[in-house]
Structures are given as C-alpha cells and as structure tokens.
Chains A and B, each alone.
Chain A
Amino acid sequence: MAKITLSKLRHSYLSTPKSDSDYALKEIDLDWTDGGAYALLGPSGCGKSTLLNIISGLLVPSEGQILFDGKDVTALPPDQRNIAQVFQFPVIYDTMTVYDNLAFPLRNRGRDEATVHQRVMAIAEMLEVTGMLDQKAAGLSPDNKQKISMGRGLVREDVNVVMFDEPLTVIDPHLKWKLRSKLKELHQRVKATMIYVTHDQTEALTFADQVVVMQLGEVVQIGTPVELFERPAHTFVGHFIGSPGMNILSCEVHSGAAVFAGQPIALEGPIQGAAEGQTEIGIRPEFVSLADHGLAATVTKVSDIGRHTVVECEAGGCRVNAVTEGAAPEKGSAVHLAFRQDMTRLYVDGWLATAPANATGEQGAA
C-alpha cells in the first residue's frame, strides 16, 4: 500500500503536441492518500482512462512523474508496480478454473503453492466464490467473472492500489447495486487504495470518500460527495453532478451585486477578485423554491420524479429548475422563485467566485 503522487503530469497521444488541445491530460498534480477510496468522475473522453493507464503503467506519460511513497515509478512496467486493475469487460482466463485464475498472478511471481492456496482461499471467501473454485471460469455469469477479475487484483498481499475502469458497465442493473456494495465492503476489509473510474455519478458518489471530477483533461474539483454537491468549484461540476444539474444563469455584476433579469440576486457572500468576463449565478434546483414574491417566472413543464416534483420555469430567457415537494403549479402559470441565499453562488468564466459569508446564510428571497 502506498501514497500515490502525480506530479506535473501531462500526456499527449501525438508525438509532437503543439497546443494545449493536443494534450489528453493537461498538467495534473494530485495526491492519493494511502487507503483512500477515490472516484475519478467525468464524461467520456475527459482523460480519466488515460490517467488510470498512466498510474498502472500501461502508458508512459509525455511529461511529469508518478511517485509511489515518494519513489519514482514513472518508467516501471505494470508488473513491477504492484498494482491491480479491473477492466470494463471482465478479463478472465477462459481455459482455467476459477482457482487457477485467482492463483495466476501469484504463480507468475513464483510464490510457493502453500502461500498461493492460503491467499486464494482467503480471497475466494471474501468474494463469496468458494463454491465455484473448481469450475471453468468460462461458464460464469458476467458479475461473477467481474468478481474473479477483481479477485486476481486483490490476491496479492502487497498491492499498492486497485484501479477500476468502469467495472459495472456490463453488469445487469439489479446486480450492479450488489457488486457496488461488495466493493465498498472490500475496501473496508483490505484497506488498499482504490481508484474507481466512472462517468456515472451515482457509482462515484456511493463508492468514494473523495471524488475527482475531470473535464477536458483537467481536474476540475476534488472533494467529498457533499462538497461537490453543495459547493461546485466549477459550473461543469454543478451541471454534471445532480439530477437535474445546477441552474446556471447568465447575470450582470454591478458594484459587487449580481443582477439577473433586472432583479438583484443575493449571493452567499462577497465576490472574490474582479468579476470580469462571463458571469453566471449557480443555484441547485433543490434550493430554489416557489414563493409569493421574488423572481417572476413561467412554468413550462412539470415532471414527477417520485418523491419530488421538478418544476421547469422560464425566467429572463433562462431555464430555471426547482425541486419541490407537495403540490406543483400548473403548466403555464406565473410563479415567483426564491433562491436560498447561502446556496447561491457566482461563477466567473466558469469558476466559483464567491466565498461564504461569515454569518450563517439567511433564508431570503431575491
């Protein structure tokens, strides 16, 4: 087990990258603490798999270093890094039995059969596959195959990090949940650092203690699921996480106050730095409520999503979503919207520009 440090990491698939856009990864500096459960979350093509392959050693980065416990491993091949990786499609050795599959990484490293047997039995018990050990691996169901490929990673007692590259993609929905909780349980038992790559926010938020959100080859925010939800550092995070995503409203800033659709909007606190460039208000639908007065809006759509109702409104040429409980207004009716002040942020060129006020935010209408 080890602490993993990525230092000034850049990677391009081109041999002579010219501009920033030629890089699949743009300058990544990250520390993964020992034993942490991390998720790497981002849309397809954001560079998360590239980053994973660099950590595992399947790719050598164009620039920068990877350190395991302070030791430079940038040039080491995967088998010398003591890492484990679970792929999108379960990789199993078809002709071997489940037992031989699990024993494979140990036998390749020349461990004696007694150690192999003891480790395989322990892992099989942990994964609840003891009954299948004598079976040919080819005949297993996809979720069991994925368990076996996980097991091949965990069977080595000294793995530095276990990485999961969208491991639940091919698993049936009703088994996804089971396997996900199994993963969480495994993390608590083996205490290895785990990195879980996904584009599914539910998977990321339920698995990880810390979520790293990536977009276009950059890390946009690192935080706990709660932090990502409550204080997105970038409008992308606000939009990507949450369902529906954060409301992003283009606004003007006049002498330190935000103005949207001709109305001043109270922000959580003072604006940091110069509010120049593209200014936007960000507020989650969960913190928008229907009120007697406030921002005038027209209801354009009402959708019932079970416990809540999403009311889609139009105000000042922008779409504003509100999540409400109880009775919802009719489509087409005129309403007023209130924003919870301590949850109303200002973004400049996409990045968070407000700091929370020292006093606790009051519930106030704009």
Chain B
Amino acid sequence: MKTENQKAWFFVLPVLALVAFNALIPMMTVVNYSVQETFGDNVFFWQGLDWFQQILRSDRFHAALGRQFMFTFLILIIEVPLGIAIALSMPRKGFWVPVCLVLMALPMLIPWNVVGAMWNIFTLPDIGLLGYFLNHVLGISYDMTQDPVAAWVTIVTMDVWHWTSLVVLLSYAGLVSIPDAYYQAAKIDGASNWAVFRFIQLPKMKTVLTIAILLRFMDSFNIYTEPFVLTGGGPGNSTTLLSIDLVKIALGQFDLGPAAAMSLIYFAITLLVSWLFYTLMTKDDLN
C-alpha cells in the first residue's frame, strides 16, 4: 500500500518562488537581451545569434577565456596538492586539532572585497609590508601595478591564501573518517608511507576531494571581486579575467547584447566543465 502526500509541494513553493524571482527571471532577461539589439526606450530589434557569433569569434573573448583557464589551472594545481599536504600533516587528535581547524577557517571568513583590499595594500611597493620588504629590503623589483608577472603572482598567491583552507578542511574530514584498523593493517602488510597514501588515504578522500575541486573550479572560474579590487584587470589587460571583461562590456561600454551572449557562453562553459569533471570522477562508483 502506498500513501502519497502532496502537501510537501507547499513547503517547496516559497523556495521555488524565490528562485524564480532572483534567478530564473533575471536569467530569462539575459536570454532576451542576448538575441536582440536595443538603443534604449525599450525598443528592441531581433538580432538572432549574431551576438553569439561575434563573441565566439572575438580575440578579446579568446584572450580573456585563456587567462581565465590559466588562472583556474594555476590555483587548482597549487591549492589541491598543498591542501592535501596540509591536511595530512594536521594532528588527528588532541589539543591542537581545534586550534588548527580555527586557524585554517580564518581566511575563508574574510569577505572577498576585504581580501582584495588587504592584498592591495599589503603589496604596495612604497607602504605595503610585503611590497616594501621585497623592493627595499631584498632589492627585488616588484610592482603589480606595472608588471604583469607580479600582478599574476599576486592574484594567484591571494587566491591560494584565501581558499587552500577549503581543500584542507574537506580533505581533513575525509582523513579523520578512516578507521585506525586501516593504518594498522597497512603496517602489518608492510606498506610504505606512499602506499598508505595511494591506496588508503587518497581513495578515502576521493569523494570530498571531488567536491573540493568542483567548488574551487566554479568559484575561481567565476572570480570577480578580489582581482577587481586588487588589480582592476591590469596592468593593461593582463589580469582581465572573464568576469571582469564581462562587467566592462556590460556596464562600461553598455553593450548589453554582446554582454548577455557572453554571460550565457560563460555559464555554459562552467556548467559543461563541472559536469564533465563530476561524471568522470564518479563513473567508477556506479557499479
């Protein structure tokens, strides 16, 4: 006998309304803009897929997309191994556990724009602690407002500082869930430290690591506030990531049509990469 209760819909309804109001409706507006041209006064002209073609063929978009992938690739290749390494060296029991956890969580509690501002001041060559130290004590020429390499080093370092903790905390959660018996069995089996990592710790961390990488991919691919506050996309266009470029087109040039098309392409890329990654990582778990 099956009892069906339709009342649950009433609980879902408010959320549905809210999501529609702040996500679906704006999104449909974007779709609307992406296929039309407007000169104001709510007068629209049908444009078809012209904006999409224009964006996909523009060198500017290719360059921003390239920088975006570069940025995401760099932070992932640093944050994931570093996060795992820190999680592995954290104590599993005792007094230092809460201390480590709180210290790790601290950077994540700071708002994005504050992080950008902090690192901006921190790296200023004349008054910033790091900038002054590098330029005037060590004698290394370092100015992220002039030098693209310095700008890249700064935004990558900033993101590593801000978000490695997320990988650490998730990996740590995976590690502490491994029963002692696994380590004991590995000792008896004569397994090396590398084998313990490869065959016990890594497999047990796999699920949480998948989530961690996915979150880091999406967040870094859509990153806006921190580099905007820190470098504003410069010097030149060297740190103009996709989102920064998008805002420039939409609000700076007020090209709403191309901007709408670009944001839909942007959204599709994020979705596609996330889906591909997640499917690849979980395909073994099905059987």
Q: Which residue of B lies closest to A139 (CB)?
A: B287
Which residues from A are CB-within-8-Å of B179?
89
Tell me which residues from 69 to 95 in chain A have a Cβ below 8 Å from any Cβ of chain B: 77-79, 83-85, 87-89, 91, 93-95
Indicate with 1 or 0, residue by residue over A86-127, a CB within 8 angstroms of chain B CB atoms. Answer: 011101011110000000110011000000000000000000
Question: When chains A and B are docked, how far (Å) is the Cα of A295 from the Cα of B284?
Answer: 70
- Distance in Å: Cβ of B182 to nearest Cβ of chain A: 5
Which residues from A are CB-within-8-Å of B184?
53, 56, 58, 78, 85, 87
> Do B188 and A83 have beta carbons less than 8 Å apart?
yes
- Distance in Å: Cβ of B47 to nearest Cβ of chain A: 52
Tell me which of B5-13, B18-26, B191-199, B273-281 binds A: B191-199
- Distance in Å: Cβ of A76 to nearest Cβ of chain B: 12
Tell me which residues from 164 to 216 in chain B have a Cβ below 8 Å from any Cβ of chain A: 179, 181-182, 184-185, 187-192, 195, 199-200, 203-204
> Do A87 and B192 have beta carbons less than 8 Å apart?
no
- Distance in Å: Cβ of A336 to nearest Cβ of chain B: 54
> Do A108 and B187 have beta carbons less than 8 Å apart?
no
Knowing A87-B181, A88-B181, A89-B181, say if A79 contacts B188 (CB, 8 Å).
Answer: yes
Q: Tell whether A298 is near chain B: CB-to-CB under 8 Å.
A: no
Which residues from A are CB-within-8-Å of B200?
93
> Do B191 and A108 have beta carbons less than 8 Å apart?
yes
> Do B185 and A79 have beta carbons less than 8 Å apart?
no
> Do A85 and B188 have beta carbons less than 8 Å apart?
yes
> Do A108 and B185 have beta carbons less than 8 Å apart?
no
Indicate with 1 or 0, residue by residue over A12-38, a CB within 8 angstroms of chain B CB atoms. Answer: 000000000000000000000000000
> Do B199 and A79 have beta carbons less than 8 Å apart?
no
Knowing A78-B188, A79-B188, A87-B185, say if A95 contacts B199 (CB, 8 Å).
Answer: yes
Q: Which residue of B lies closest to A86 (CB)?
A: B185
Which residues from B are CB-within-8-Å of A96?
199
- Distance in Å: Cβ of B185 to nearest Cβ of chain A: 4
Question: When chains A and B are docked, how far (Å) is the Cα of A361 from the Cα of B82?
Answer: 77
Question: When chains A and B are docked, how far (Å) is the Cα of A139 from the Cα of B192?
Answer: 25
Q: Tell whether A152 is near chain B: CB-to-CB under 8 Å.
A: yes
> Do A152 and B181 have beta carbons less than 8 Å apart?
no
Which residues from B are CB-within-8-Å of A104?
189, 191, 199
Q: Which residue of B lies closest to A84 (CB)?
A: B188
Question: When chains A and B are docked, how far (Å) is the Cα of A95 from the Cα of B182?
Answer: 14
Q: Which residue of A lies closest to B200 (CB)?
A: A93
Which residues from A are CB-within-8-Å of B185?
85, 87, 91, 149, 152
Which residues from A are CB-within-8-Å of B284?
136
Question: When chains A and B are docked, how far (Å) is the Cα of A58 from the Cα of B187?
Answer: 8
- Distance in Å: Cβ of B85 to nearest Cβ of chain A: 20
> Do B187 and A79 have beta carbons less than 8 Å apart?
yes
Which residues from B are CB-within-8-Å of A109?
190
Which residues from A are CB-within-8-Å of B287?
139
Question: When chains A and B are docked, how far (Å) is the Cα of A95 from the Cα of B287?
Answer: 13
Partner of B189, one of A53, A79, A139: A79
- Distance in Å: Cβ of A53 to nearest Cβ of chain B: 8
Knowing A89-B179, A91-B181, A91-B182, say if A152 contacts B199 (CB, 8 Å).
Answer: no
Question: When chains A and B are docked, how far (Å) is the Cα of A153 from the Cα of B185?
Answer: 9
Which residues from B are CB-within-8-Å of A53?
184
Tell me which residues from 114 to 131 in chain B have a Cβ below 8 Å from any Cβ of chain A: none
Question: When chains A and B are docked, how far (Å) is the Cα of A136 from the Cα of B200?
Answer: 14
Question: When chains A and B are docked, how far (Å) is the Cα of A77 from the Cα of B203?
Answer: 25
Which residues from B are CB-within-8-Å of A136?
284
Question: When chains A and B are docked, how far (Å) is the Cα of A89 from the Cα of B181?
Answer: 8
Question: When chains A and B are docked, how far (Å) is the Cα of A105 from the Cα of B192?
Answer: 11
Partner of A108, one of B192, B203, B204: B192
Question: When chains A and B are docked, how far (Å) is the Cα of A88 from the Cα of B187?
Answer: 16
Name the 5 nearest CB pairs between A and B, nearest first: A87-B181, A108-B190, A79-B190, A91-B185, A105-B189
Given A91-B182, A104-B191, A153-B188, 13 more contacts at CB 8 Å?
A56-B188, A78-B187, A79-B187, A88-B181, A93-B203, A94-B204, A95-B199, A95-B203, A96-B199, A105-B190, A108-B190, A108-B191, A108-B192
Of the A-B pairs whose beta carbons lie under 8 Å apart in the complex, a sample of 5, sorted by A's number, is: A77-B187, A85-B184, A85-B188, A109-B190, A152-B189
Question: Which residues of A pack against B, CB within 8 Å?
Answer: 53, 56, 58, 77-79, 83-85, 87-89, 91, 93-96, 104-105, 108-109, 136, 139, 149, 152-153
Question: Which residues of B pack against A, CB within 8 Å?
Answer: 179, 181-182, 184-185, 187-192, 195, 199-200, 203-204, 284, 287
